[in-house]
Structure 1
Amino acid sequence: MFHIRKAKLDDAESIAEVHVESWKSTYSEFINERDLSNITFEHRRTLWETILKMPNIGQIALVVEQEDGKIVGFISGGQERTKRFGFDGEIYAVYLYKQYQRMGLGTMMLEAFAKEMKNLGHSSILVWVLTQNPSNRFYIDFGAEKIDQEQTTIGKGTYQETAYGWKEIDNLLERFRKPLANNE
């Protein structure tokens, strides 16, 4: 059994572990090893301690945990950062240990995140995903539309990322009331 809750400062280390392990398992096939190794546990722990110590008003960080309290994934976001596409909310990061993928936990996190964003007054959500990431399909399956593509720098490498978005959070939330076509 799993449940979702708001992240707290004590979760920083566990979130950092999920972040680094998931990053490396997800991107090992299409990000250069030198760029992949730039993401370290120490840096991510410091990042998450900073985020969770001084929460930004309107920023959301949720974790999914097992009954025993082990955190196996997280999602975070808040205000859309670029102000270029007409969206007011954004998913900044969503990661799940590989062994917990395809169990419906990503769906649970996305739904909880969308509800939190709506409660904060957001009406739309954008997410940037590395274009080669096979998880792009997850967002498309929930009705996200492709918005734009651009280059991003990771370490010393340049990679393409794609923005997907839901112009109406209500349309996304409605998707959770209907079964997905691929039964995921």
Structure 2
Amino acid sequence: MSIREALPEDAAAVAAVHVLSWRAAYRDLLPARYLAALDVAERTAVWRARLTAPDRPTVLVATGSGGEVRAFSCFRAWQGEDLDPRTTGELAALYALPEAWGTGVGRALLSASTERLAAAGFRMAALWVLAGNARGRRFYEAAGWRPDGEVVREETGGRVLDELRYRRDLLA
């Protein structure tokens, strides 16, 4: 496995990981019809736009021995109003192919992402995770992330779900 910055030509592979991971990770949280309708081609266009934007976030990909994208992360300065974007980075996404779960690829990608955030001068990192995503919450907590008490309600696929904000000190 290797980790590198994503290129525009990785957009389709990142989109496939995004869709397949959502279908597996959120199957008990979101309607099956919504998950089945997720479209890799539509997500490819979104990721290509992100990867070519002048103010693009940083996107890392973890690739297997054959160069195939197995997981990705996306991070940037905090986008909300309640945390300082000069000192707080946001881990906006971290997804892996379901067959890669439990292999260490997610841990390696999370570590690389937090190292890059710290190297960029951020002192704190934050992320949002669905309250019902027990696997995701265990994953982040095992890496030292903790909920900070902030909760937002978001509608996705016709369901209103709570998202919990987790934070981690990058200086520790």
Q: After TM superposition, is the score higher than 0.5?
A: yes
Q: Give the TM-score normalised by structure 1.
A: 0.86
1:29-178 superposed matches below 5 A: 29-56=28-55, 59-86=57-84, 88-134=88-134, 135-147=136-148, 148-166=150-168, 168-171=169-172
Compute the displacement of 1:160 (Å).
Answer: 1.0
State the partner residue of 1:182. none
- Which letter does structure 2 place at the counterpart of 1:145? R
> Hey, what's the Cα distance between the residues in 2 that align with 1:127 and 1:18?
19
Identity of aligned residues (%): 25
Deviations 1:124-158 (A, max 9, x none): 11010111112111111122121211211113221
Q: How many residue pairs get matched?
A: 168
Secondary structure of 2:171's partner?
Answer: helix
| Residue pair 1:38, 1:155 contacting (<8 A) in 2 also | no
> Hey, what's the Cα distance between the residues in 1 that align with 2:34 and 2:81?
28
| Residue pair 2:6, 2:60 contacting (<8 A) in 1 also | yes
State the partner residue of 1:26. 25
> Hey, what's the Cα distance between the residues in 2 that align with 1:56 and 1:159?
29
Distance 1:55 1:77, change over 3 A: farther
Q: Give the TM-score normalised by structure 2.
A: 0.91
Deviations 1:63-99 (A, max 9, x none): 0001211101000010111131456110111100111
Distance 1:54 1:155, change over 3 A: same
> Hey, what's the Cα distance between the residues in 1 that align with 2:125 and 2:79?
11
> Hey, what's the Cα distance between the residues in 1 that align with 2:34 and 2:80?
24
| Residue pair 1:35, 1:157 contacting (<8 A) in 2 also | no
Compute the displacement of 1:118 (Å).
Answer: 1.4
Secondary structure of 2:12's partner?
Answer: helix
> Hey, what's the Cα distance between the residues in 1 that align with 2:54 and 2:66?
26
> Hey, what's the Cα distance between the residues in 2 that align with 1:90 and 1:56?
15
- Which letter does structure 1 place at the counterpart of 2:101? Q
Distance 1:124 1:67, change over 3 A: same
Q: Which moved more, 1:135-144 or 1:37-46?
A: 37-46
Distance 1:151 1:14, change over 3 A: same
> Hey, what's the Cα distance between the residues in 1 that align with 2:138 and 2:41?
31
